[in-house]
Amino acid sequence: MRIIFMGTPDFSVPTLRALHAAGHDIVACYTQPPRPAGRRGLSLRKSPVHEAAEALGIEVRTPKTLKAADEQAAFSALGADVAVVVAYGLLLPKPILEGTRLGCFNGHASLLPRWRGAAPIQRAIMAGDTETGMMIMKMDEGLDTGPVAMTEKVAIGPDMTAGELHDALSRTGASLMVRAMAALEQGVLELVPQPDDGVTYAAKIAKDETRVDWAGDGADIHNHIRGLSPFPGAWCEMRFGGKWERVKLLASTQAPGSGKPGAPIVGAPITVACGTGAVRLTRLQKAGGRPLDAEAFLRGNPLSEGDLR
């Protein structure tokens, strides 16, 4: 089929490559414009999808908005059968949704209607969900409200981070989208409306929710840490040489023990008491430093009672 691909981050790249490898004609790739990069922001960095599309010899378009009539006309003029959307990042107005013969199909990283919105991977882990998945849905004007065509579930392990789940879902989504487009081309893709119950929203992660509150439940804190790893990263403060520094917490596991919230528990490297239960920190990163396993971190940054908050 003639496909317009619309995506921006690393998450989208496997689907673009899989559709290309499956023999579809990717007539254009829409992605976010290059962003300022470097220390002074004087250079521009292309999105991962932009770079992947160029490597495949696909035309790349980077409009700042799709609301303008000329952009909508240019989109329709491609004469595409379908648009495939994976983490594009721009609102698609009605003329774009209707600008191809068969419409726009989105690869969404949740089991809809649970976790509609911007951060479904992080929110699923932060909520303690034990499974999620990829869904292919036909887009409408609502927020992830369109009918679902295909689903594949993915288990969330007890210590799995958002980064690990991101990679698993990205691979799953690529395969699922290829199967969905094959069924669409054959005229056998069935669309099922989403149920009205079970709707939750995955709000964008806010900066003020990334700091760890050790007074909380240990299971919730563990989910908070792994749900925000590696980006933007949950964090706390630790004291080194009398100076408090911000430390990003990249991996953890639940642990036995109890004590004053935020106090280390003796006998296990960087195990911290919570309001209930405890959490063992297994991978950490100081500002400007590289990620380190707990043992390596402690060799260069010894901690004592009262050095963590």
H helices within the chain, ranges in order?
13-21, 48-55, 69-76, 94-97, 120-126, 162-186, 218-227, 294-300
Q: Is the peptide bond before 302 cis (omega within 30 degrees of 0)?
A: no
Residue 113 known to bind ligand: yes
Specify whether the CB–CB gap between 284 and 249 falls below 8 A.
yes
Residue 111 known to bind ligand: yes
Amino acid found at 215: A
Amino acid found at 286: K
Tally of residues, the chain: 309
Tokens 């009918």 — which residue? 147
Residue 229 known to bind ligand: no
**Any bridge partners for residue 131, and if so which?**
155
Cβ neighbours of 123 (radius 10 Å):
23
Residue 112 known to bind ligand: yes
- What contacts 6, CB < 8 A, 6 or more positions away? 29, 30, 31, 83, 84, 85, 86, 88, 90, 92, 104
- Binding-site entries for (6S)-5,6,7,8-tetrahydrofolate: 110-113
- Binding-site entries: 110-113
